[in-house]
Amino acid sequence: MTKILCSKKSQKIIANQRRFSFFLSVLLLLTLLLSSCAPADPAEAKERLENRIENANVQFCATVTDCLQKWKFPKGYDAKKLLEVEKTLYKNFYQELSPIDMAKEAASCFLRLFYDFISFDDEKLYTDALIHCLVMALDDDYAIYRTAEEYAAYQNAMSGTFGGIGITVNKNKETGIMRITRIIADSPAEQAGIRIGDILHSVEGIEVTKENMNDTFSQLAGDVGTAANFEVRRGDEIIPFSIMRENLENMTVAYTLSEDKIAYISVSSFKRSTYNYFKKAIDAATEAGAIGFIFDVRNNPGGYINSALNVLDCLVPEETELCSYGTKKSIKTIYVASQPDKISVPCVVICNGATASAGELFTAAIRDYNDMGILKAAIIGTEASTFGKGIMQNTYHLSDESVLTMTTAFYNPPCRQNYHGTGVIPDLLCAEETAIETAQQALLDLIQNN
């Protein structure tokens, strides 16, 4: 009997020891798990993320968002909006896109530009930063993401009437240099002493770089009566300005008629209002008996393609091809003019290296119409070629009223090859300071030989 009781007691002790051992094992396991999940310092967390981006297998990911989730990107961004952006890019970009390549490029961009400076708790800022990086991953110099507020300000500037200081700049995408190329007469900028050739150094305390040049320049526009604070570099000197914004009617077309009946028409850009001003200038010059036209598109950065086509529509007869556009994957579409008449006198175009986009299309079209026998024309250039932008962009609205602008097609002038990357070659080169006189002489030669 005693032996039986001892045996039962021993068994109970052994059972208790086993329970205690199991409890210790569980406790040790929990301790290890909790220590492995302990929050890492920011540098360590970033390093872990970099390692996951480098080593995680994402070959089966169909979207950038899938890759971000696979890499365990910090939570807090709006995945639904990010997917909406991706669908818009994949559907409309003029070249085929690889989601995995884009994801790696966008992730690298985010780690380099935003990771150490952004709060992951701010969903909007975090999401906007990811979208900016995704757009940069397109390797498209003209792609841009704008929030609803930024797009409203941009539309206001492009409408022809806006609150601003009255300058136009030439943006160098490689260096980040924004050089002032035009100043509206009697504008706040002219009155404050801004000069053509000045370089924007900073806007509202933020130094201009190639990464932020679009954003910083857009801050010069704003509500009428508010101050635009910026600095320009002039030679070795940095000069600060604080200029009150005014409501500017941006007259993109300037017209004069000389005593010998030569019409001079300057087109600074192709905005929505440009066609109306251009048509009025053409009609006024024709009614006054102009014997020829000089069209000056120096420093014209372009604008709306349709605006340039409407302007060309004033010059050539019905059924004339204005341009063609498309992608490597789609059929080109041809625009034709609807005007029954054309201008009956010779014309000359003056251009330079800052004549870009729609400004180049206008220049190239006039050259082609001369070759086609539709117009008597010549192209005068102060540089060896124009800027070289023969691609077009479209803007797509997202569900929250922010927008994506990206390259969607290339466009060609009426009868020659696309000039993207090479520019339009002028018929005659001259110095900047003699451009008007050279154009007048070339026009007189065309008149005499007409």
How far is 208 from 201, CA to CA, in rounded Å? Answer: 6
Question: Could you write out the DSSP letters of every residue in 288-319?
Answer: TT-SEEEEE-TT---B-HHHHHHHHHTTS-TT
Nearest CA among 98, 171, 110 for reference residue 136: 110
- Confirm if 297 and 349 have CB atoms less than 8 A apart: yes
Residue with tokens 């929050």: 39
Report pLDDT for 103: 96
The answer to whether residues 166 and 218 belong to one domain is yes
Nearest CA among 346, 327, 328, 348 for reference residue 392: 327
Q: Which of 196, 225, 249 is the last residue of a domain?
A: 249
CATH code at 169?
2.30.42.10
Q: Is residue 121 part of a domain?
A: yes
Report pLDDT for 250: 63
pLDDT one-digit tens code per residue, 204-216: 999 999 888 888 8
Report pLDDT for 37: 45
Q: Does residue 199 sit in helix, strand or coil?
A: strand
pLDDT one-digit tens code per residue, 279-320: 999 999 999 999 999 999 998 999 899 999 999 998 998 888
Q: Which residues does residue 397 pair with via DSSP β-bridges, in sequence order? A: 403
Report pLDDT for 284: 92
**Domains contained in the chain, number:** 3
Q: Which of 205, 227, 249 is the last residue of a domain?
A: 249
Residue type, 169: V
Q: How confident is the model at residue 147 (pLDDT cuts 50, 70, 90)?
A: very high
**Residue 368 sits in which domain range?**
253-393+408-448
pLDDT at 448 exceeding the cut of 60: yes
- Confirm if 381 and 298 have CB atoms less than 8 A apart: no
The answer to whether residues 66 and 121 belong to one domain is yes
Average pLDDT, the chain: 87
- Confirm if 200 and 243 have CB atoms less than 8 A apart: no
pLDDT at 434 exceeding the cut of 50: yes
CATH code at 378?
3.90.226.10
The answer to whether residues 430 and 287 belong to one domain is yes
How far is 3 from 12, CA to CA, in rounded Å? Answer: 14
